[in-house]
Amino acid sequence: YRAGELTVQRTGGMPPARYAFCPQEPAMHQEYEFQLPCGFYDELGQLHQFGRMRLATALDEMESLTNAQQQGNLNLLPALLLSRVITQLGPFAGVDGYMLQQLYAADVAYLSDLYLRLNSPENLQLQTTCPQCQVSYQVEVISR
C-alpha cells in the first residue's frame, strides 16, 4: 500500500474534493515514548514519568465520543481518548480513569497536546474556491 490522493467528484457545480489518504500499514501502529513533566505516583508512592502512546484510530475517536454522549458529559472526551491510546505508563499497561484523575493538570495538558500532535496531519492541503471570483486553488493548513 502507498499513501495517495483521492479525488471525489461533487454535484451542484462544486469543484472536485481531493483527500490525501494513508492506508493502514504496520507503520501506522507506531508507538511514541513520552516523559510526563510531573509524573504519576502509584499507591506505593513511586513516581512514574515514562510511557508510550499509539496513534488513534477512527474507532477510538468514534467510541470515545459515543461514550461521552451516553454519559451526558462531553468534557470526558479527552480522558476517554487518552485512556484508549496510552499503552504504557511506567510498569502499567495503559491507563484507566482513576490514573488519569491522579495526574497533575500539567501532565494531562502535555498528554492532550501530544495526542493532537501525533494525530493531526502535518501539512493538510485542501482544494477550495474563492466565493467572490470563483477561482479554484489549493491551500495548505499547517498544524504545528
Residue 118: band (very low, low, confident or very high) from pLDDT cuts 50, 70, 90: confident
Q: How many domains is the chain built from?
A: 1
Residue 129: band (very low, low, confident or very high) from pLDDT cuts 50, 70, 90: confident
* 47-76 pLDDT tens trace: 999 999 999 999 999 999 999 899 999 988
Rounded to whole angstroms, what are the CA distances from 143 to 29, 99, 117, 125? Answer: 21, 29, 8, 11
Please give the pLDDT value at position 26. Answer: 46
Residue 86: band (very low, low, confident or very high) from pLDDT cuts 50, 70, 90: very high
Provide the whole-model pTM. Answer: 0.65
- Taking CB atoms within 8 Å and a gap of at least 24, the contacts of 88-95 are 88/51, 88/52, 89/40, 89/48, 89/50, 89/51, 90/40, 90/42, 90/46, 90/48, 90/49, 90/50, 90/51, 91/48, 92/42, 92/48, 95/51
Q: Which domain holds residue 43?
A: 4-142
Contact residues for 115 (Cβ-Cβ < 8 A; gap 6+)? 53, 56, 78, 81, 82, 85
- CA atoms of 95 and 86, how far apart (whole Å): 6
Residue 21: band (very low, low, confident or very high) from pLDDT cuts 50, 70, 90: very low
